[in-house]
Amino acid sequence: MKSNTFLKFGAPLAVAICLAISCTSSDKKNGHTDATTMETDTSKSIQGNPEFSDAKVKAVFDSYIELKEALVASDSVKASNAASKLEAALAGAGSTKGNQVAGQIEKETTLDGQRKQFNQLSADVETLLKSNKLASGTVYKQYCPMAYEGEGAYWLSNESGIRNPYYGDEMLKCGSVEEEIK
- The whole-angstrom separation of Cα 112 and Cα 15 is 20
Confidence of residue 49 (pLDDT cuts 50, 70, 90): confident
The average confidence (pLDDT) of the chain is 81
CA torsion 103-105-109-113 (nearest 10°) is: 140
Confidence of residue 179 (pLDDT cuts 50, 70, 90): very high
Q: Could you tell me what percent of the chain has a pLDDT over 90?
A: 72
- The whole-angstrom separation of Cα 104 and Cα 73 is 19
CA distances from 64 to 42, 54, 127, 157 (A): 25, 15, 13, 9
Structure pTM? 0.76
